[in-house]
Structure 1
């Protein structure tokens, strides 16, 4: 009975810390236990989940998502990290997703808020998300132009890089800029399917 009580307390705590009901938390953990090994989700298994359920395929972006889920240098995701991360991924508010996506882009676990995104990082992110073309030089020139456009649109303080404040102000004005440096959130269709199949519920409209 004591173990059951502790489990209920855990479900309640996770529910209060996320956008999920206690029942939804339990379903998320049940799913986690089917894809994890010994209570831990490694990088490859996490990639498989992102690919199969959310149509995310870009390798370096999935690695950045993995790091954002762990919030540390850990090499695996535990069930607490899993539920917290899925709350942001599936039901995060715009403000929460701004922080989350910025953390993904900076590839930083704890110091992302003070770590600006440099021109070189923008180039790297956009290069990895763009379709490869035969002429590498033309491709690189095109990416440099995209970086210039992003900076023109989002570099509020005009210092040649994107701070969290720059990014937040820009996205709050135009939410379409949330994933300006590459897709790292699932589209509405895959979220709806996951919520229906795994969570047995409808996502909020």
Structure 2
């Protein structure tokens, strides 16, 4: 089916003033205090007066943090990971729930979130292609100038290493169980997950 007319959806986004669910409910869902939630909401409303962030706005905000590279692709994947219901917009609730996991979640919760990021088509498996797409987007975002030593094939080598460790039954895809088990056992992967947190 044809994509909806973008000017229509923009109009819709700017006219719908999204009201977040009660702070009490969000406090129960996240690991933030009421005060923290109020302060996050103020910041969110400041950047996004409608209470909703579309993908273009998200890319714009995100690229400011990585002026040395091109963050467009990584921001696209990240947006999809935050947009829990897949409706093309991030509500304050989506944002705060994701942020709570990334900042204060258990290792298990963080890894599940990371798996969801890597599983681009959300079919429950990570393929080499999906992991490569994410890796390339991270390398692009970090910028060639920052890491001039990185060769063109560096993301591919990274993915090959990851897959050798993770794909336990050698069926060419990584399941959530394989992902969780390997990550938690492997010191290096856990370290690179820390690095991954800094990216976010």
Superposed pair shares fold, TM > 0.5? yes
Q: Determine whether 1:98 maps to 2:111.
A: yes
Question: Which residue of structure 2 lines up, in the alignment, with residue 26 of structure 1?
Answer: 38
Post-superposition CA distance 1:141-173 (Å, at most 9, x none) = x54433321112222222222111111001111
1:119-198 equivalences in 2 (<5 Å): 119-130=128-139, 139-140=152-153, 142-174=154-186, 176-177=188-189, 185-186=197-198
Of the three residues 109, 122, 125, the one matched with 1:116 is 125
Determine the C-alpha separation between the residues in 2 that align with 1:53 and 1:79. 20
Pick closer, same or farther for the CA change 1:17–1:165 going to 2, 3 Å: same
Q: Determine whether 1:72 maps to 2:72.
A: no
Of the three residues 32, 53, 59, the one matched with 1:41 is 53
Determine the C-alpha separation between the residues in 2 that align with 1:179 and 1:162. 19
Determine the C-alpha separation between the residues in 2 that align with 1:76 and 1:179. 31
| Number of positions where the alignment pairs a residue of Structure 1 with one of Structure 2 | 171
Shift of 1:84: 1.0
Post-superposition CA distance 1:45-103 (Å, at most 9, x none) = 32344344688963222111111111122121111112112212222221111111111
Question: Which residue of structure 1 lines up, in the alignment, with residue 10 of structure 2?
Answer: none
Q: 1 or 2, which has the higher strand percentage?
A: 2
Post-superposition CA distance 1:97-116 (Å, at most 9, x none) = 111111111124xxx4x521
Query: Taking structure 1 as the reference length, what is the TM-score of the superposition?
Result: 0.69
Please list every run of 5 or more consecutive structure 1 residues that lacks an aligned counterpart in the other structure.
Answer: 1-6, 192-205
SS at match of 1:162: strand
Q: Larger relative contact order (C-alpha < 8 A, sep ≥ 6)?
A: 1
Of the three residues 22, 28, 31, the one matched with 1:10 is 22
CA RMSD after TM alignment: 3.1
Please list every run of 5 or more consecutive structure 2 residues that lacks an aligned counterpart in the other structure.
Answer: 1-18, 146-150
Question: Which residue of structure 2 lines up, in the alignment, with residue 199 of structure 1?
Answer: none
Q: Is the 8 A contact 1:88 1:97 kept in 2?
A: yes
Determine the C-alpha separation between the residues in 1 that align with 2:188 and 2:28. 29
Question: Which residue of structure 2 lines up, in the alignment, with residue 85 of structure 1?
Answer: 98
Determine the C-alpha separation between the residues in 2 that align with 1:164 and 1:179. 19
Q: Which runs of 4+ in 1 moved over 6 A?
A: none
Q: Is the 8 A contact 1:18 1:87 kept in 2?
A: yes
